[in-house]
């Protein structure tokens, strides 16, 4: 959603590409090939928010090739790199060295709120990138930059966070089918699960609000990410401690059972 609004603010026209469960909610080279006319650019996010799915190396190579052939500039949001459970996510730079790559201290480095990130850009774009940064942000907060330096040396602690997310992911994947949440693309990375709830609601926003009111468990409505199909999905985050996941599951079980019983009447 934020990508679309950012593009609009820059007077660009967002082109939405329907990436559903058949491609594990990820962009493919075939999607890009099918766009006529080709877009000026494409934004990739792998692992993605809200699904956590990763674009395989072979597909990334094919996407890079289509973009080269059709003159499409690539912006790759690699903010969830370092958080993967099925092997590391490959950077687009392995396949398209002229791509722009976005990253941040918010996810792997657990520094959400410190407003610190970075952009890798080809030399030809540096002066324009500097001008944008200088006018939009002026500078990254210096306190955050010092904290970022310390975070880069805290590998053991950060890998400990990844181990917790891995355990949480396993707990959720094992428990969600018993809640009736069977249509999910198991996340390869990040710390989210995007689950289909279309058998229980047509309005994911109202559903999440009710769930929060009744149980105290916060989820994100799919419409935050996809205004059309998102009404049938919710996003669960597992970037919390394992006891919190266990407690959430204890609360969710009776709630989903009651909801399923109501819907069946």
Pick 28 or 104: Cβ nearer ligand PLP? 104
Residue 76 CB, nearest approach to ligand PLP (Å): 11
∠ CA(222), CA(236), CA(191), 5° rounding?
A: 115
Total residues interacting with ligand PLP, rule: CB under 6 A = 8
8 Å CB contact between 152 and 10: no
Residue 245 CB, nearest approach to ligand PLP (Å): 19
Pick 120 or 253: Cβ nearer ligand PLP? 120
Using CB under 6 A, which of the segments 90-98, 104-112, 149-157, 160-168 binds ligand PLP? 104-112
225: left (phi over 0), alpha (psi -120 to 50) or beta: alpha
Residue 224 binding ligand PLP, by CB under 6 A:
no
Helices (H) and strands (E) in the chain, counts: 8, 7
Residue 39 binding ligand PLP, by CB under 6 A:
no
Residue 86 binding ligand PLP, by CB under 6 A:
no
Residue 77 binding ligand PLP, by CB under 6 A:
yes
Measuring CA to CA, which residue among 5, 151, 17 is closest to residue 72? 17
DSSP structural state of residue 105: S
Residue 122 CB, nearest approach to ligand PLP (Å): 21
For residue 37, whether the previous peptide bond is cis, meaning omega lies within 30 degrees of 0, is yes
Q: Is 201 exposed, middle or buried (0-12, 13-18, 19+ CB in 10 A)?
A: buried
8 Å CB contact between 258 and 35: no
Give the full edge-to-edge strand order of the sheet including 233-237: 192-196, 233-237, 220-221
DSSP structural state of residue 88: P
Residue 36 CB, nearest approach to ligand PLP (Å): 27
Quote the CA–CA distance of 10 and 73 in Å, as a whole number: 16
Residue 197 CB, nearest approach to ligand PLP (Å): 21
Residue 112 binding ligand PLP, by CB under 6 A:
yes
Residue 104 CB, nearest approach to ligand PLP (Å): 3
The structure tokens listed for 259 are 């909801």
Residue 179 binding ligand PLP, by CB under 6 A:
no
Residue 45 binding ligand PLP, by CB under 6 A:
yes
Residue 210 binding ligand PLP, by CB under 6 A:
no
Residue 151 CB, nearest approach to ligand PLP (Å): 13
Residue 49 binding ligand PLP, by CB under 6 A:
yes
**Which residues make up the interface to ligand PLP (CB under 6 A)?**
45, 49, 77, 79, 104, 106, 112, 117
């Amino acid at each position: 959603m934020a990508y679309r609004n950012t593009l609009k603010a820059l007077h660009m026209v967002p082109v939405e590409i329907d990436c559903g469960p058949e491609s594990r909610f990820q962009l493919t080279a075939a999607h890009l090939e099918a766009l006529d006319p080709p877009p000026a650019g494409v934004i990739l996010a792998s692992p993605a928010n809200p699904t956590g799915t990763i674009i395989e190396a072979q597909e990334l190579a094919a996407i890079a090739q289509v973009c080269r052939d059709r003159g499409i500039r690539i912006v790759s949001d690699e903010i969830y790199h370092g958080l993967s459970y099925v092997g590391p996510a490959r950077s687009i730079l392995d396949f398209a060295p002229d791509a722009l790559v976005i990253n941040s201290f918010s996810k792997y480095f657990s520094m959400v709120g410190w407003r610190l990130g970075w952009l890798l850009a080809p030399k030809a774009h540096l002066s324009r990138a500097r001008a944008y940064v200088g006018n939009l942000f002026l500078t990254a907060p210096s306190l955050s930059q010092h904290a970022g330096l310390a975070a880069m040396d805290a590998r053991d602690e950060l890998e400990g966070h990844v181990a917790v997310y891995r355990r949480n992911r396993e707990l959720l994947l094992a428990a969600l089918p018993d809640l009736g949440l069977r249509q999910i693309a198991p996340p390869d990375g990040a710390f989210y699960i995007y689950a289909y709830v279309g058998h229980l609601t047509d309005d994911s926003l109202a559903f999440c609000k009710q769930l929060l009111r009744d149980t105290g468990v916060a989820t994100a409505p799919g419409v935050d990410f996809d205004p059309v199909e998102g009404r049938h999905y919710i996003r669960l985050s597992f970037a919390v401690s394992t006891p919190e996941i266990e407690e959430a599951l204890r609360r969710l079980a009776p709630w989903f059972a009651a909801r399923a019983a109501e819907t069946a009447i």
